[in-house]
Amino acid sequence: MIPERWSAIFGLDGKVAVVTDSGSNSSPEVAALLAEAGATVVIADRDISLVDRVVADIRGGGGQAIGICTDVESENSVIALFSQVAATFGSLDILVNCAALNANRPLEEFPLNVWDEVQSVNLRSVFLCMRECIRQMLHAERGGRIVNITTMGARHPVLNGNSAYAAARAGVTGLTRSAAMDYASHGILVNELLPGAIPGKVRFHSDNLAALQAGKNFTGPGGDAARRLPLGFGSPADVAAAVLYLVGPSGGYLTGQSIVLDGGFLVS
């Protein structure tokens, strides 16, 4: 638990937080920190072995967590997730969307099926989870917080061949801002984090993994780490800390915002 003197700023005692993902990405660190701040955390991912490990780690540290096997790209699976949350806890207070998939290749070579896969993980899943979350929050009439974790590439090109990923994440920016305006009067605050230069934050498509293993490197401004990253590379813990700020009492006067975590990339 966080020190008592800080609970008025960052404490989450009594809150229920749903953290969604489609692989490791940022969710283990986010879930662990929210639990440490006092929230009961629901970890939703189709990788049940990952879910079980994160839940065990949180409980081993004295936190409260459960795991629900969920395919965030499936409407039925997402509806089932939030139905189970409602049945178990009554409603939720926090949603953090962590799922991410990048498929990097030149636009003229991009197959439609891979484009659709990228949009499904990075935009469709966010829409589905936000819709079901907002329905519950409206019914409970106690407000809530939503944080969408995207990429600085939605604001500024980072790597060559990143069009599909950037387009999907730019869509999340529009979704975030529109929902923030629509539901502010209900006390539902919606923001997004745009991390960059954080190794392991994004799951790469199998084609990219094969290319990387064969020695191919991505090109573009983001590949010039020594010059473009004044603060060097970040970590998933940096993302988790920013999430905690947004979902706790500290973030009570922020909505519709896009906060960039890029190690100084945009000012280099």
The alpha carbon of 41 is separated from its chain's Cα centroid by a whole number of angstroms, namely: 14
Residue indicated by tokens 């960039």: 260
3-state SS, residue 5: helix
Neighbours of 199 (CB within 10 A): 9
By the 10 Å C-beta count (0-12 exposed, 13-18 middle, 19+ buried), 1 is classed as middle
Query: 74: left (phi > 0), else alpha (psi -120 to 50), else beta?
Result: beta
Active site residue 165: yes
Of 165, 183, 245, 253, the catalytic one is 165
Domains of the chain: 4-267 (3.40.50.720)
Give, for all 268 residues of the chain, the pLDDT tens digit: 556 677 888 999 999 999 999 986 779 999 999 999 999 999 999 999 999 999 999 999 999 999 999 999 999 999 999 999 999 999 999 999 999 998 888 999 999 999 999 999 999 999 999 999 999 999 999 999 999 999 998 898 888 889 999 999 999 999 999 999 999 999 999 999 999 888 766 776 656 655 666 666 778 887 776 678 889 889 999 999 999 999 999 999 999 999 999 999 888 8
Please state whether the predicted TM-score (pTM) of the whole model is above 0.85.
Answer: yes
b/e sequence 80-91, b meaning 16+ C-beta within 10 Å? bbbeebbeebeb
